[in-house]
Structure 1
Amino acid sequence: MADLNRSYVFIDCFLKESNHLIVVAEAVPSSEATLYQNSVVTQNVYEKFEPAVFRALRTDTDAHHHKAVTQEGQVVEQNVTPIKVKGNVIGALIMEKDITRQIKNEEKLYVLSRATETISELFKYPSSEQIFVPDMIEEALFYLDTSFVVQYYNLKGEKIVQDLTDKQCDLNISILDIFPDFDYILNDDRVIVIENRAIRNKHFQIKCVKLFTDQQLTGYLMMLKDITDAKEKEKALISKTVAIREVHHRVKNNLQTVASLLRLQMRMDVPEESKHYFQESLNRILCIASVYEVILSESDSDHVNIATLIEKIGNALVYSETAEQEVNISYDIDKQLYLPSHLAISVALIGNEVITNSLQHAFKQSAQGNIVVTLCYEQRAALYTLKVQDNGIGHGHYPSSFGLNIVSTIAENDLDGNFNITQNDTGTLAQLVFQYKGE
């Protein structure tokens, strides 16, 4: 029965020498959401919460569609039928459905109805002695009857009509005579309609609210807000974004052109002992180019996904530097970390130098090696920590080089952070720590 009616079913009986009822049996539907957390069998039932049950038992009549409150405070709809044996009422069969959502919807509808009634009354009796409230509203406002005829307009509405149509806004004319394109909004089935629309080279947000009294449509409240400035700013922002992307694209192409020239020079007449320096310079240029590649491939913003960037640089370095070695590089970087491009370039250059250092110096005595790159963010202090750990010979420092000067200068001056290299049981650990709280 519970599944058939999609209701909770109970049998209640009177307690001996008491005015209360007790639940003696229950059936729970398998397809409905839980109404009771626990079984209610043996629990008392009180008249103030379920009056329909008591009335049905006392009068020996059925009760349909009555509201009640459960022991757990849920509002339910009850249908009650007395149970009789040999003509005597001995209990009640009760079917309950949860109507909490229905009650909330009814309350919302009531509030909306009261609000629209209040608005309707507001427009019927404007005071001539004081500033009428709608005239204080910055939006153009029109009160229409059910035939779309203007019954009221505020000062802003009068001005917008004059500016857009070169007409005077008068009462008792159809709003469609002023704005013919508004018919699709007024005929929309929704109670509240919000649309953006261009009118004579200007942009407006149009709101239309249906007004009801006693659930009967009595009119419309239409509001127009000039959003031209916001649209122009949005347009300018899009143009700026496109321009920035074009700059990024050109910078990337120029860097790749320089890289191609360096490669060409290396193939021509560069002494063998100098090629190493050319390769380092080439890697630095490609490292910066990688920042712009990531920006262009991922979003329209000027922010870079650091995980994508570091992995791109690390993989490229391992591929180009380890022809005679087998070096594995792995990453532990939060995929949701982003930095603006000017900081991303600094982090990328440091990452390039420390990974290059490990590849060139850590594995001279071994044909195999491992490099682990981690980048973590501590939100409370807004601290970023980049670590590059290798399992090489562990000198614990760079040989004095231009690369070390680059790393130290960038860490201190560009990132306002600190950089250090230490030797540990695994090998060499290079660590960069800097703070960035956002712009």
Structure 2
Amino acid sequence: MNNTIRVPSTIPTQIVDETAQNTIYKKVAWRIMPLLLVCQLLAYLDRINVGLAKLQMGQDLGFSESAYGLGAGIFFLGYFLFEVPSNIMLHRIGARRWIARIMISWGLVSAATMLVTGTTSFYIMRFLLGVAEAGFFPGIILYLTLWFPSARRGRMTTLFMTATAASGVVGGPISGWIMTAFGGSHGLAGWQWLFLLEGLPSALMGLVVLRYLDDGIESAQWLLASEKKVLREALNRDEQARAAVMPRSSVNVIVLSSLVYFLLLAGLYGIGFWLPTIIRESGVSSAEEVGMLSAIPYICAGVVMNFVAFSADRKRAWKSHVALGAFAAAAGLLASTYWAGTLALSLAALSVATVGILSALPLFWNLPTMMLRGVAAASGIAVINSMGNLSGFVSPLIVGWLTQRSHSAADGVQFLAACVLVSGLLTLLMRRCSAEN
């Protein structure tokens, strides 16, 4: 009697197919993600380095707290006005050329901020920086949907946004070192050297993008025809799954998503723009030391956020992970105000806040991109990002006003904690996606 147990032939095939897909997606990730990571690192660094520059710039140019808050935030008005047109241009001429254009222009504008002489010129340069950078982030989010299905995209989006944490890790120490080491050299202040030496690399990276970035699967000469077929089929299956769970109104998705994103970003930019000030209020006076300490929350976030993304993708539970991240961030921000006089405790609380926000933000994008497709996806991503980024204008302005009124950053940070808490609650109201907990 033959007791041999036969394994169905389909099982080895499925295992082989899954292994082959993982190999192909690793090949894609290693090709495009390092370049995108560097681009995002430079983008976020050029956006928030004004927070450390403020420690010298405000004194040299006589900025009040509210004037700085307006200048930090006016970036997002230019960003808002040109976001959707920029994404339309990216769609028309391709990611490679348009992202290269964005990087070159924002790098030059960021470097030119060294020429600021007062509040008016500061406002103008911040506005122009927003115009130059408009379309970069939503363009990348849309670009990732051209390569990765939703079950893999959460990890890729989080990996991309790890560069945001990395910019905080390297940006603070490097910015503090530049301001200390170069201050007074050739008649330029430390903050002027900061904008110059951190702006020009972005422009140079634009040339690298022009050379190496591919517009999509079909233009990728480094992929075999069989590999392209696997990628296309995975995207087609994902598209069919999304079509089955399309909400009745894309407008409702866009409006609620914009509000959630607005409130999440209020917390992120609040930390980015005001973290150096909070550390200084704890008794640290050296710009270089402030820069080193500012890196700690971002180091924590860079480690934790990728584990959170893996958990969310494995469980397909993006909504709950976003909400939990927002609640953790709100608790961390609130705790930092009560421990403001103790540097170690305050920094620990801000680290929790940074981990929570940077874990929630990339996973958030899985929610609208699963509910939008076609033209609605392309325009919706741009609208959500542009509306959400208005918080970068509103939150620094409000935090600056509250800080000036109370002569402490505590009131402003508590306002940010409330924003992030509400974002978590609203996330739980978003339409349930397919297989999402």
TM over 0.5: no
Instruction: Compare relative contact order (CA 8 Å, sep 6+) and give the higher one, 1 or 2.
Output: 2
Rg larger for: 1
Greater helix fraction, Structure 1 or Structure 2: 2
Structure having the larger proportion of residues in strand: 1
User: If the length of structure 1 is used for normalisation, what is the TM-score?
Assistant: 0.28
TM-score w.r.t. structure 2 length? 0.28
